[in-house]
Amino acid sequence: MSSRKIVSIVAGVAVLGVAVHLVAKESKKPKGKKPMSESKAADKGDLKKRLSPLQYEVTQCSATEPPFRNEFWNHKEAGIYVDVVSGEPLFSSLDKFDSGTGWPSFTKPLKPAQVVEKADKAHGMTRIEVRSKKGDSHLGHVFDDGPGPKGQRYCINSASLRFVPVARLAAEGYGEYVSLFPGSASVKEADAGAPIETVVFAGGCFWGMQEILRQIPGVTFTEVGYAGGRTANATYEAVKTGATGHAESVLVKYDPKRISFEKLLGYFFRMHDPTTPNRQGNDVGTQYRSAIFFKTEEQRVTALRVRAAVEKSGKWKGKIVTEIVAAGPFFRGETFHQDYLQRNPGGYTCHFLRE
């Protein structure tokens, strides 16, 4: 069994362990509630495929994840948190604080109208539940013991959120919130007119690719995620099934004054085997395909030229199967996967730079 598969199994066991600790949820339907329509049932079925088991239980069944053992309770990066189901913007890192409870806590929503409050009388107590307006996802509860001007604490489940860092706000359609972070490095970079360009590479497990790419002189930023798929708000649990069409990818920002795109592509074709369709090492599936998601026409032309040159060189015995396609939406991977080999030296990878 490959190391990659072992990691996946361990992650699955962890998710099951979390599910065991989910707080019991109300199962009785309110009186007079009509049966779920066929379309609604279909929507639920789609969500079960797209969300992780924990995300589904929290957002659709009003479960509660364990404190201190969730993705964002101690997360401090600048950006916004959106509904993992609908993508609607909900909270800002500027309003996040450490409540000591083990869950992400905020003093207020980005826009009050985006969060709906409902009375929750489950479990023998009365609380105020908060749900997203568009997605109707269960988020958590709001309490009157916060530090803000209004004294409120929005206690939110990490499983109901997806984080979008400042550097990705404009690219993912949340450009109106960039102005909230005038002191961030990415905003300063844009204001200074820095000639930074972006491309997205796919070539197998994104752990190993990111570790090589981040060390290349001229590369200024990397983050792992999912690209080239058919569904929105991609997650690892959904992508690993191969059903969404996404590829594990790495978004790369680079300074063309320090490294040309052609030279960057030289590294790309050396770090993985571009002749194995839908496979790298022991990792098999369309999510492990080789692809270049270009952002500009110049990148497209260069990629086509370099791919042809690599194939003509004879360094690879088989035919180069690397896709060259226009970049579409890129969905940032979970924090667990970011800089994985930096946090786990000696962890699984099948990537290395060939001569």
Rg from Cα positions in the chain: 22
State how far the Cα of 244 lies from the Cα of 79, in Å rounded to an integer. Answer: 26
Report the C-alpha gap between 2 and 170 in whole angstroms: 38
Residues in CB range of 145: below 8 A, 6 or more apart: 151, 153
How many contiguous H segments (helices) and E segments (strands) does the chain have?
9, 17
Catalytic, out of 78, 115, 202, 205: 205
The residue annotated as part of the active site, out of 18, 80, 155, 166, is 155
| DSSP symbol at 180 | G
CA–CA gap between residue 218 and residue 214 (Å, rounded): 9
CB contact set of 118 (below 8 Å; sequence gap of 6+): 128, 129, 130, 131
Facing residues of 225 across strands?
249, 332
- Catalytic annotation on 61? no
Beta pairing, strands 105-106 & 197-203: unpaired
Beta bridge partners of 155: 105, 141
Let me know if 205 is a catalytic residue.
yes
> Which residue bears the tokens 């929005």?
154
Give just the sign of the alpha carbon dihedral 198, 202, 205, 211: negative
How many CB atoms within 10 Å of residue 269?
Answer: 23
Specify whether the CB–CB gap between 248 and 283 falls below 8 A. Answer: no
Active site residues: 155, 205
